[in-house]
Chain A
Amino acid sequence: MTADQLSQPEPTRRRVIGIFLGGGLLASFASFIYPVMRYLVPPAVADLGGNDIVAAKIAELKPNSGKIFRFGSRPGLLIMNSDGTYRALSATCTHLGCTVQYRSDLREVWCACHNGIYDLNGRNVSGPPPRPLDVFDVHVRGDEVVVSRKREA
C-alpha cells in the first residue's frame, strides 16, 4: 500500500468507530440513566405502608353512614357513628367473600349475598358468616380519617 492509500481510509475509519462508540455509549448510558432518574422521583401516591391508609376526609361522611374504601388489596368499611366517632372494619364477608355494607336503618353491617349480619364490633350475629370481621383502628389526623391495622401485640 502506498502512503496515500494508508492515510485516506484511516480518518474515515476512525470517524466511523468514533460515531459507533461515542453514539452507542451515549445512547446506552441514556437508556441506563433515564430509568434511574425517573426512579429517584417519588411517585404521586405516597406509600404510607401496608398498615395505614387515608380512608376519607372528615367532611365526607354523615353520622350513621358508611363508606367502602380500599385497604391494601382488600376492601374496608368506614362507618361514622351517630355520635360522630368513627369505626372501621374489614368489608370482606367471612362467609363467601362478598363485600358487606353498612345499613343505617338497622345500624348494623349487612351482607347482601346471603343476609349475613354483623354488629358494629364486627361480631357475626346472624346468618351464615362463621367468623367476625376484622376490626381496624381509626384516627383523625387533621382533616383526614386514617385507618390502620391493629398493632401486633
Chain B
Amino acid sequence: MFAALSRWLDERLDWDDLTAPLRHKTVPTHRLSYWYFLGGITLFLFVIQVLTGILLLLYYRPGANEAFESVQYIMTQVRFGWLIRSIHSWSANLMVFTAFAHMFSVVFLKAYRKPRELTWISGMLLLFLVMGFGFSGYLLPWNTLAFFATKVGTEITGQVPIIGKPMMIFLRGGEEVTGATLTRFFGFHVAVLPGLATLLILLHLLLVQRLGMSIPPKLEVQWTANPSAKREMKFFPNFLLRELMAWYVALGVLGALAAVFPWNLGVKADPFVPAPAGIKPEWYFLFMFQTLKLIPSKVWFIDGEVLGVLVFGLAGLLWLLLPFFESDQPSRTKGWITGLAVFALAYMAGMSVYGYLAK
C-alpha cells in the first residue's frame, strides 16, 4: 500500500527525487553517537508542546480576571485537563533541558565548526526562543509566583542602559505588570514565538540535512586517514527507528511525571499583595538570577545589576558567534573553547544549584 502511495506522489511531485537525500542520509556511528539524539528529542518535545498547547488553547482564557480560573477549570473540570496541562508544563521544562544539553553536546563535539556556523547560529537563536517561550508561558496561569517572577524578570531587563526601559515597557505593555502584560505574553507565546520558531526550525533542519552529521575532530582525522574504519548507519529506517524509541521513552517519562507529579495551580495573583519572600525565577533562569544577587550593588562607578545584565548580554552575543572564534588550525585553538565550555557548564550548573538552595 505504501508503495502504491509513493508511486502516486512520485508521478505528480517527483516524490522519489525529493526524498532521495533522506533515503541516502547516513549517521556516523561511534562512541559518542548517542548525543545525536538530543536534537531530535528537543524537536519531539516541541511538537508535544504545540499539540498540548493547541488543546489548552481550547479552554484557556487570557486576561487577569479569567486566566487563573480557566486554568483551574482545565485542571479540575475538563476531562484529562490535568494530564494535558501537566504534560505541557513538564514537557516545557524537559525541552529547555534538552535544548541546553543539545547545545553543550554540539560545543563539546565541536559540531559548530565550518561549514556549520549557520546551523549553530540558528540553533542558538532557537535556544533564546525556547527561553522566551518559558518566560512568557510561565506567566499565563496568572498565579502569585508567576506574577512576581515576571515582575522581577522584566525589572532586570529594564536595567539595560538606554534601551532597557523602553524594552521593559514593551514587554510589560505598560510601566507595571498588569493584565496587559498577560495579554501581550499570551500573544508572544502562541503566535509570535511559534511563528519565529517554526521558521528557524525549518532552517535548522534544512541545514542539518544539507550539511550532514558532524563527526568529532579526532575521529574525523582517523577516518580521513583510514576510510575503511568509517562506521555509519542509514538514517532511514535505522537511525529513525532508534529515534522513535527515544521519543517513546520520552513520552513514557512525560506521562509518568504528569500523573505522579501534576503541575501546581498556585494561588491567584494579587498585584497589591507584597512579593512573597525569597521569590525566584524558574530553574533555567536561576544561574543568571543568582549571579545578579551576588554582584555588589556598585562595582567601580557602574551599578552592579547593570553590569551583570551587560555581562550576560555580552556573553550571550559572544557565544552566538562562537564558530567564528574557532581557528582553522586545530593546534591554534588548543581546546580553549572546550575549556571555556566546561567552565560555562560548571558555572551554570553550580549557580543553579546555589540559587535553588539559597533563601
Quick check: do A and B touch in the complex, using CB within 8 A? yes
A51 — which chain B residues lie within 8 A by C-beta?
A: 65-66, 69
Task: Assess the A49–B69 pair: CB atoms within 8 A.
Answer: yes
Question: Would you call A45 an interface residue if the criterion is a C-beta within 8 Å of the partner chain's C-beta atoms?
Answer: yes
A43 — which chain B residues lie within 8 A by C-beta?
A: 77-79
Binds A, one of B80-88, B160-168, B196-204: B80-88
Given contact pairs A28-B248, A49-B61, A35 touches B66 in the complex (Cβ within 8 A):
no
Task: Assess the A45–B84 pair: CB atoms within 8 A.
Answer: no
- Cα separation A42 to B81 with both chains bound (whole Å): 11
Question: Would you call B70 an interface residue if the criterion is a C-beta within 8 Å of the partner chain's C-beta atoms?
Answer: yes
Task: Assess the B80–A35 pair: CB atoms within 8 A.
Answer: yes
Given contact pairs A39-B55, A47-B70, A152 touches B80 in the complex (Cβ within 8 A):
no
Which range holds the interface residue count of chain B?
20 to 34
Which range holds the interface residue count of chain A?
10 to 19
- Minimum Cβ distance to chain B for residue A20 (Å): 13
B64 — which chain A residues lie within 8 A by C-beta?
A: 152
Question: Would you call A38 an interface residue if the criterion is a C-beta within 8 Å of the partner chain's C-beta atoms?
Answer: yes
Question: Would you call B260 an interface residue if the criterion is a C-beta within 8 Å of the partner chain's C-beta atoms?
Answer: no
- What mask results when residues 78 to 112 of chain B are scored 1 for a CB within 8 Å of chain A, else 0? 11110110000000000000000000000000000
Contact partner of A39 (CB less than 8 A), chosen from B65, B68, B79, is: B79
With both beta carbons as reference points, the residue of chain B lying nearest to A72 in the complex is identified as: B69
Question: Would you call B58 an interface residue if the criterion is a C-beta within 8 Å of the partner chain's C-beta atoms?
Answer: yes
Task: Assess the B68–A38 pair: CB atoms within 8 A.
Answer: no
Question: Would you call A50 an interface residue if the criterion is a C-beta within 8 Å of the partner chain's C-beta atoms?
Answer: yes
Question: Would you call A6 an interface residue if the criterion is a C-beta within 8 Å of the partner chain's C-beta atoms?
Answer: no
Contact partner of B66 (CB less than 8 A), chosen from A32, A40, A50, is: A50
A40 — which chain B residues lie within 8 A by C-beta?
A: 55, 58
- Cα separation A35 to B248 with both chains bound (whole Å): 17
B77 — which chain A residues lie within 8 A by C-beta?
A: 43, 45, 47
- What mask results when residues 60 to 75 of chain B are scored 1 for a CB within 8 Å of chain A, else 0? 0100111011101100
Question: Would you call A36 an interface residue if the criterion is a C-beta within 8 Å of the partner chain's C-beta atoms?
Answer: yes
Task: Assess the A38–B79 pair: CB atoms within 8 A.
Answer: yes
Question: Would you call A1 an interface residue if the criterion is a C-beta within 8 Å of the partner chain's C-beta atoms?
Answer: no
With both beta carbons as reference points, the residue of chain A lying nearest to B58 in the complex is identified as: A40
Task: Assess the A50–B69 pair: CB atoms within 8 A.
Answer: yes
- Cα separation A35 to B82 with both chains bound (whole Å): 10
With both beta carbons as reference points, the residue of chain A lying nearest to B52 in the complex is identified as: A36
Task: Assess the A41–B65 pair: CB atoms within 8 A.
Answer: no
A32 — which chain B residues lie within 8 A by C-beta?
A: 251
The A-contacting residues of B in range 179-196, CB under 8 angstroms, are none
- What mask results when residues 43 to 57 of chain A are scored 1 for a CB within 8 Å of chain B, else 0? 101010111000000
With both beta carbons as reference points, the residue of chain A lying nearest to B64 in the complex is identified as: A152
Task: Assess the A41–B79 pair: CB atoms within 8 A.
Answer: yes
A47 — which chain B residues lie within 8 A by C-beta?
A: 59, 69-70, 73, 77
Using a CB–CB cutoff of 8 Å, the interface residues on chain A facing chain B are 28, 32, 35-36, 38-43, 45, 47, 49-51, 72, 149, 152
Nearest 4 CB-CB pairings of A with B:
A50-B69, A35-B80, A38-B79, A47-B73
Query: 26 A-B Cβ contacts within 8 A?
Result: A28-B251, A35-B80, A35-B83, A35-B84, A36-B80, A36-B84, A38-B80, A39-B79, A39-B81, A39-B83, A39-B84, A40-B58, A42-B78, A43-B77, A43-B79, A45-B77, A47-B77, A49-B65, A49-B66, A49-B69, A50-B65, A50-B66, A50-B68, A50-B69, A72-B69, A149-B65
